[in-house]
Amino acid sequence: MGTEKIAVVTGAGGFIGGHLISSLLRIPGVRVRAADIKPLADWYQVFDDAENHAGALDGDVRDFAVCRELCSEASDVYQLAADMGGMGFIENNKALCMLSVLTNTHMLLAAQEAGVGRFFFSSSACVYNAEKQLDPDVTALAEADAYPALPEDGYGWEKLFSERMCRHFREDFGIQTRVARFHNVYGPHGTWYGGREKAPAAICRKVIAAKASGDHTIEIWGDGHQTRSFMFIDDCVLGIRKLMDSTVLEPINLGSSEMVTINQLVDIAEDVAGIKLERRYKLDAPRGVAGRNSDNTKIKRHLGWEPSTSLRDGIAATYRWIEQEFHALGAQGSNAAIQGMGTSSFSHGAKAIPGDGFLAESRFLDTWRQGIPAGYGSHPPVRAGG
């Protein structure tokens, strides 16, 4: 026990958090302390051999008292907790995105107080200056392109501010912070419907729904010419661990440099599915910046590595998992829940997902009901370990 390291993962019930915990549990001598505001039944993956802190009273890291308990005697902190989702959520729920500053501030304070050795913060490519992303044929974004600051409104500003918090906590208090700017992470065991899903999962779901329904059309947000890069989850987890073990002090891109248009992303999903669909473009939908790609010069120089999973291989794995989930949902008698899955939406001013607010009972208040994703809690998480 004396040589055991405690690694804290917040946002543990989320997509990236679940995969990261799986990786950390395979390291000898590492004990994982996992926390998420969601009830344990709503975590994407649950590991019985981790120390799980779930729900509004035990896993809400907006609460400084919870952060203190989590950081006690910890060696490393991986701060992934945030209220976020795809572009539909980000553009319509800027206040909720900004409130994630509470999770980052309180976890930094508690980690510094507890003498935590290293602190990882998951930032985002949304911190980059929007004026450098006006053309689909974008020049890949280097780390210096975050300044002068003009990030994504709401979500991007919060991430950029929290990056600065990490820097100043390191400079003033000595805590070793590490910051990665994620570029569109995707893969199995993630959000795939309900409004918080990102483009790869949404496109896979729409193709699956079109194939299952016989309505061979697909709705695409924007004109399909906007460009992005997408990083497979295995590369993301490996990059986090490499960065955490490194001496890199400044924020660094963690993303694939394989840039595609959204139309090309649809091409790949169609190819995996063995189908061609008629495309209908929703030009008034949230679409984000015109172009974004990751300049990996710095990560290759510092770590001798960059994400390398091809989009074709990653989408194939993601498609297969979502297809299984889609048909399982229908088989469970939830056909009503999968109707309309060929489209995506998220309401303006949505509320936080359960445990919604600071008290467990607040989830039953009318003011917290709006915007909870359809089907929330409808299927059990994957359990592993133990």
What is the dihedral sign for C-alpha 346, 21, 321, 226?
positive
Please name the residues in contact with 85: beta carbons below 8 A apart, sequence gap of 6 or more.
Answer: 93, 191, 195, 196, 197, 198, 346
Query: pLDDT tens across 264-278, in order?
Result: 999 999 999 999 999
User: Would you state the pLDDT for residue 380?
Assistant: 59
CATH of residue 285's domain is 3.40.50.720
User: Residue 177: enclosing H or E segment and its boundaries?
Assistant: strand 176-182
User: Would you state the pLDDT for residue 353?
Assistant: 43
User: Residue 261: enclosing H or E segment and its boundaries?
Assistant: strand 259-261
User: Catalytic residues, which ones?
Assistant: 155
User: Would you state the pLDDT for residue 159?
Assistant: 96
Token pair of 134, please? 């006006």
| Cα separation, 121 vs 181, whole angstroms | 9
Residue type, 249: L
Number of compact structural domains in the chain: 1
Residue type, 333: G
What integer is the mean pLDDT of 290-297?
A: 96
DSSP string, 297-336: HHHHHHHS------HHHHHHHHHHHHHHHHHHHHHTT-HH
| Cα separation, 69 vs 360, whole angstroms | 18
Domain enclosing residue 250, as ranges: 5-384
What is the dihedral sign for C-alpha 174, 180, 186, 191?
positive
What integer is the mean pLDDT of 215-226?
A: 93
Worst-scoring range by mean pLDDT, 42-51, 79-88, 346-355?
Answer: 346-355
Q: What is the CB neighbour count within 10 angstroms for residue 39? A: 18
Coil, strand or helix at 147 = coil
| Cα separation, 142 vs 260, whole angstroms | 18
Strands (E), 48-201: 51-54, 76-79, 118-124, 176-182, 185-186
User: Would you state the pLDDT for residue 329?
Assistant: 84
Task: Assign 238 a pLDDT band (cuts: 50, 70, 90).
Answer: very high
User: Would you state the pLDDT for residue 252?
Assistant: 98
pLDDT at 202 over 60: yes
Parallel, antiparallel or unpaired: strands 252-254 and 176-182: parallel
User: Would you state the pLDDT for residue 194?
Assistant: 81
pLDDT at 321 over 90: yes
User: Would you state the pLDDT for residue 89?
Assistant: 80
| Cα separation, 211 vs 319, whole angstroms | 12
| Cα separation, 277 vs 267, whole angstroms | 9
User: Would you state the pLDDT for residue 2?
Assistant: 56
What is the C-alpha radius of gyration for the chain, rounded to an integer number of angstroms?
A: 20
- % of residues, the chain, pLDDT over 70: 86
Token pair of 232, please? 């497979």
| Cα separation, 298 vs 140, whole angstroms | 12
Query: pLDDT tens across 331-349, in order?
Result: 666 565 566 677 766 565 5
| Cα separation, 106 vs 50, whole angstroms | 22
